Amino acid sequence: MCGIFGYTGKKEAQGLVLQGLRQLEYRGYDSSGLAVQCGAEELRFEKTKGKIRNLEEVLKTNPLRGSTAIGHTRWATHGTPSQVNAHPHLDSANRIAVVHNGIIENYSRLKEKLKKEGVSFRSDTDTEVIVHLIAKYYRNNLEEAVRRAIKDIRGTYAVAVISAKEPGKIVAARFDSPLVAGVGLGENYLASDVSALLDHTRRVVFIENGEIVSLTENSMRLMDLEGRAVKRLPSKIDWNISQAKKGGFPHYMIKEIFEQPEIITAILRERIKKEKHRSAVFFEELKINRREFGKIKRVILIACGTAYHAGLVGKYILEAFTDIPVWVDTSSEFRYRNPNVDRRTLVIAISQSGETADTLAGLREAKSRGAVTLAICNVLGSSLSREARGVIYTHAGPEIAVASTKAYTAQLAVLYLLGLYLAGIFHARPRKKIQDTLKEFFRVPVLMKEVLENYKRDEKNWAKNAHDFNERYHAQLKKYFGGGAIEKKRSPNGFFLYLGRGINFPNALEGALKLKEISYIPAEGYPAGEMKHGPIALIDENPWVICLAPRSKTYDKMISNIQEIKARGGMIIPVVTRGDREIRKLDPFYSIEVPAVEEIFSPLLTVLPLQLVAYCVAREFGEDIDQPRNLAKSVTVE
């Protein structure tokens, strides 16, 4: 999401830190800055909104001379993208500087406490709380001050700190946000991503959760939060820089698939607060009060592409949690169909970028008719977030692969939390039921991680099945086209059909979309109950049918659908609950298991195999997975 780079040694630090930040640009950011120890117990800093080149222009006329520095690229989460909110943040005396990745969950309480102690704040960020805490505890020992400050903080963080009073030293700490130290000769480095270090060193030490590292030009000391020494030898990294930016994965898409459990965990930690022995959903940036929500009589969700599929799942979620009627519309249709909305209608616009042209136009149409408007998006300060009455950010970090994966599940997570938030307002669920549902929700990212770990263990088998499909598919091509140059052709006889029921039907649409986007293979998603109304005519030995069949109230009906496909020779790939025996009896081509979970949360698990199927097939076909043809990450035209 954000980027950190630090250097201490004998060289001029400014250029090295800027070079490191440029290596982190791929992560996405809206501002950048750096702080340098300039001698005579002095810290100097510069920060700018926008691209790193803006910072470089300022530094051309006002260079920061010194051999110890920390720098940062910021993707805004608390506070708008601006120069004052950019990192680094300094204490009131400008003697301590901090850069930070992550989210401090209890920053509001800490900020109020510090204000009562006389501290003045310059920014709207959660990060500024950290530097004032460190200054509060500082007694000529930076490690101890950082250790004490970190123990006050709840949330996720990777923090790097320098002090004017301790030249040549960087102190850093982490919890659930990556941080790695680079070991040099007479110099040491710090970064949030190993890719930024590889121009300088291949020897690195990965900082673990709950650890603090202290760097000087000739030393690196690790300790835990109690100050006890931690011993760890450096690792040697053989990746090239491109591999490193992808975290060792071959493509951004698979990297982003594997980031999903961590992102959902972060969303839950940020949005769910403990209040008097119970949990409550909290949206700091929402700006729509409970009284306004209480007047709502219906909800309309508008979105495009993958976000539209998230909206379809959202319909099931909101109706289940609130008992309010919910409609879902593609943004491009909503704006032209004379929608019947008024001031008692909540229109929720969903967009990863917040710049989708049709969704923006739909939002404006809803506003013009008096509707209460809410945006769910990933990019702080985007057009959608500015124009909507209220906004909820997904905080999924930059998504680089064109085919959306982590943005989708982050949107679902926000919709679940919104549903539970509204359930409390409308008294649609008993308080204990809401508490039980929140408790179950915290299990979900753990189960998502299990699904992905199972894939890693069974990756060779996934690859083999993709290869088998490739062989079968090209055999069909030769039969259809009569041989010849077939490598770029797609057979109308070889396609995928995705079937789902209930809350998993939208995932059938999403799975088909993912396959089409990156492999260019024809694929369709349908409600399984509609199979007899047309799609069954396509079933013979050619189509591959992916059936979403976790345990649910429609499980028996799904088995009937699978039996009908089996009777006609279709190749069945069911996604089932772990331990399922009934579907195994039907001898499917390959079963994919997901852990058991409450049915309402099952889409967060069943979508993962669909993303992986699309990825494996596209990889087997040799397609450009991260940048498929004809597609753009943000569709800003109609």
Residues 365 and 224 in one domain: no
Is the per-residue pLDDT at 224 higher than 70? yes
Q: CA geometry: angle at 612 spanning 607 and 616, to 5°?
A: 155
**Of 77-91, 160-174, 482-496, 502-516, which gets the smallest average pLDDT?**
482-496
Say whether pLDDT at 40 is over 80: no
Residue 453, in any domain of the structure: no
Query: Do 511 and 429 share a structural domain?
Result: no
Specify the number of domains making up the chain: 3
Residue with tokens 């490598």: 487
Residue 609 in any domain: the answer is: yes
Do 241 and 195 touch, CB atoms closer than 8 A?
A: yes
Residues 46, 74: one domain?
A: yes
577 domain-assigned? yes
Q: Which whole-number Å values give the CA distances from 479 to 279, 443, 522, in the listed order?
A: 60, 48, 18
- Residue 396 placed within a domain: yes
Q: Of 447, 474, 499, at which residue does a domain stop?
A: 447
Q: What is the pLDDT of residue 484?
A: 47
342 and 233 in one domain? no
CA atoms within 13 A on the CB side of 37: 26
Confidence class for position 542, pLDDT limits 50, 70, 90? confident
Q: Please state, as a whole number, how many other Cβ atoms lie within 10 Å of the Cβ of residue 410.
A: 27
Whether 442 and 474 share a structural domain: no
Query: What ranges in 458-504 are assigned the alpha helix state H?
Result: 459-481
**Structure confidence at residue 638 (pLDDT):** 52
Q: Which is higher by pLDDT, 258 or 629?
A: 258
With a cut of 60, say whether residue 488 has pLDDT above it.
no
- Amino acid, res. 370: G
User: What does the pLDDT read at residue 480?
Assistant: 52
Q: Which of 51, 111, 136, 633 is catalytic?
A: 633
Answer yes or no: do 443 and 462 share one domain: no
Q: Where is pLDDT greater, at 467 or 94?
A: 94
Question: Which residue blocks in 205-340 are alpha helix, DSSP H?
Answer: 241-245, 252-258, 260-271, 290-294, 305-322, 331-334
Using the predicted structure, report yes or no on whether residue 596 has a pLDDT greater than 50: yes
Residue ending a domain, choose from 245, 280, 296: 245
Listed range (121-130, 271-280, 316-325) with the worst mean pLDDT: 271-280
In CATH, what number is assigned to the domain containing residue 26? 3.60.20.10
Residue 17 or 471, more confident? 17
Contact 188, 143 (CB under 8 A): no
- Over 70: is that where the pLDDT of 493 sits? no
pLDDT at 478: 58
According to the per-residue pLDDT averaged within each range, which of 65-74, 376-385, 452-461, 472-481 is highest?
65-74
The pLDDT of residue 468 is 78
CATH of the domain at 268: 3.40.50.10490
Average pLDDT of the segment spanning 296-312 = 97
What percent of the chain has pLDDT above 70? 95
Q: What is the mean pLDDT of residues 314-334?
A: 96
pTM of the model: 0.77
Q: Is the pLDDT of residue 189 over 90?
A: yes
pLDDT, tens digit (0-9, with 9 covering 90-100), for 104-113: 989 999 999 9
Residues 50-72 have a mean pLDDT of 95
Quote the mean pLDDT of the chain. 90
**Any domain includes 632:** no
User: Are residue 228 and residue 155 in the same domain, yes or no?
Assistant: yes
183 and 268 inside one domain: no
The active-site residue out of 2, 304, 547, 616 is: 2
- Tens digit of pLDDT for each residue in 616-637? 999 988 999 998 888 766 554 4
Q: Once rounded to an integer, what is the mean pLDDT over residues 240-248? A: 74
Do residues 173 and 152 both lie within one domain?
yes
The residue-averaged pLDDT of 36-50 equals: 90
pLDDT of residue 403: 93
Percent of the chain with pLDDT over 90: 66
Residue 2 annotated as catalytic = yes
Burial of 395 (0-12, 13-18, 19+ CB in 10 A): buried
**Residue 629 falls inside a structural domain:** no
Same domain, 100 and 141: yes
Question: Would 627 be classed as within a structural domain?
Answer: no
Asked if 633 is an active-site residue, the reply is: yes
Domain for residue 628, yes or no? Answer: no
pLDDT(603) > 60 = yes
Same domain, 529 and 607: yes
The pLDDT-based confidence of 489 (bands split at 50, 70, 90) is: very low
pLDDT in the model for residue 534: 86
* Domain end call among 245, 270, 298: 245
Task: Indicate if 409 and 467 belong to the same structural domain.
Answer: no
Residue 486 confidence class, pLDDT cut points 50, 70, 90? very low
pLDDT of residue 217: 96
Range of the domain at 411: 258-447
Report yes or no: 70 and 8 within 8 Å, Cβ to Cβ.
no
